[in-house]
Amino acid sequence: MENVLAARRTPAVEEVGLERAEGRVLAEEVCADRDYPPRDRSLRDGFAVRASDTPGRLRIIGEIRAGGDCAFRVERGEAVEIMTGAPLPDGADTVVMQEHAERDGLVVAVRDAVGPGRWVTARGAEARCGQRLLEVGHRIGYAEIALLATLGRRRVRVYRRPRVAILATGDELVELDCEPLESQIRSSNAWSLAAQVGRAGGVPEILPIAPDRLEPTRELMARGLEADLLLISGGVSTGKYDLVEPAARSLGAEFFFTGVEMQPGYPLVFGRARGTFFFGLPGNPICTMVAFEVFARAALQLLAGENEPLLPLLQAELAAPFRHSPGLTRLAPARLSADGATVTPLAWRGSGDIFALVRSNCFLVAEADRESWQPGDLIRVLLR
Q: Does domain 163-303 have CATH number 3.40.980.10?
A: yes
Classify domain 2-36+127-159 at the CATH class level: alpha beta
Residue 238: predicted pLDDT: 76
Classify domain 41-121 at the CATH class level: mainly beta
Distance CA 243, CA 239 (A): 8
Residue 240: predicted pLDDT: 82
Residue 351: predicted pLDDT: 82
Residues of the chain with pLDDT under 70: 1-8
Residue 349: predicted pLDDT: 86
What are the extents of the domains in the chain? Answer: 2-36+127-159, 41-121, 163-303, 313-383
Domains 41-121 and 163-303 share a fold: no
Q: Does domain 313-383 have CATH number 2.40.340.10?
A: yes
Residue 363: predicted pLDDT: 95
Residue 3: predicted pLDDT: 67
Residues 6+ apart with CB under 8 A from 262: 268, 290, 291, 294, 328, 329, 330, 331
